[in-house]
Amino acid sequence: MKTKAVLLSLVVVAISIMSFIDKGEHEKHKTLELESEAPMVDKKMMDVSGEEFSLNDLRKMNGMCVIFSCNTCPFVVGSEGNMGWEGRYNNIAKNCEQYQVGLVLVNSNAARRTEGDSMEDMKIRAKEKGFLSKYVIDNNSELANAFGAKTTPHVFLFDSDMKLVYRGAIDDNHKDSEFVDESFLSDAIDNLNSGEEINPADTKATGCSIKRVKK
């Protein structure tokens, strides 16, 4: 009985320690709250064109949309029987252009630079897909850390004052755009333009975890 009690105590302690660690990791890069101002708006990031841009450079009259993306996540690029969200980027770009909202794709996979997410890989991907938006590299995942971005993709939409008005997913079906029931980002951009309430303003970002370099 005494041995069982000791073992039980050790299990409880272990669970407590793991809970503390998980909470600490979660809080380390806490996701930006709604109505917060965009951080690191002057941070320059290299685009696939060879030019450097900041969020302030790319923002437009009615706001800014930031999508954390990559070249390697099946939720983004698709897989067998799965189209992936990447195929919707150009429609998002056209929607943003129509309503004078800036758009940038950000690759923060710092731990995957030699495994498909290097600048050269990004250039190839952008050319193959004909991206209409800038596609920039986030060195050391600095912007992702400041935003608390968790997944690829993870969307952050800001208004004209660069305050966060929507965060989360692009829509509710990464596998096939033909079967989307709720176009979260598109609706948010439309409502931002018309001055209507954005609802939902917070959805679950689904995808692969951003691959940060462990320190």
Residue 28: its pLDDT value, please? Answer: 78
Say how far apart CA 154 and CA 66 lie, in whole Å.
8
Is the domain of 73 the same as that of 155?
yes
The model scores a pTM over 0.95 = no
Is the domain of 11 the same as that of 98?
no
Give the rounded distance of the alpha carbon of 191 from its chain centre: 20
In the predicted structure, residue 177 carries a pLDDT above the cut 50: yes
At 151, is the pLDDT very low, low, confident or very high (cuts 50, 70, 90)?
Answer: very high
Whole-number percent of the chain with pLDDT over 90: 81
In a domain, 214, yes or no: no
Is the domain of 71 the same as that of 130?
yes
In the predicted structure, residue 207 carries a pLDDT above the cut 60: yes
Instruction: Give yes or no for a contact between 64 and 101, defined as CB atoms under 8 angstroms apart.
Output: yes
CB atoms within 10 A of CB 187: 16
User: CA–CA distance from 65 to each of 3, 28, 82 (Å)?
Assistant: 58, 23, 24
Window from 22-26, 59-63, 70-74, 79-83 with minimum mean pLDDT: 22-26
The boundaries of the domain holding residue 15 are 1-30
Average pLDDT, the chain: 89
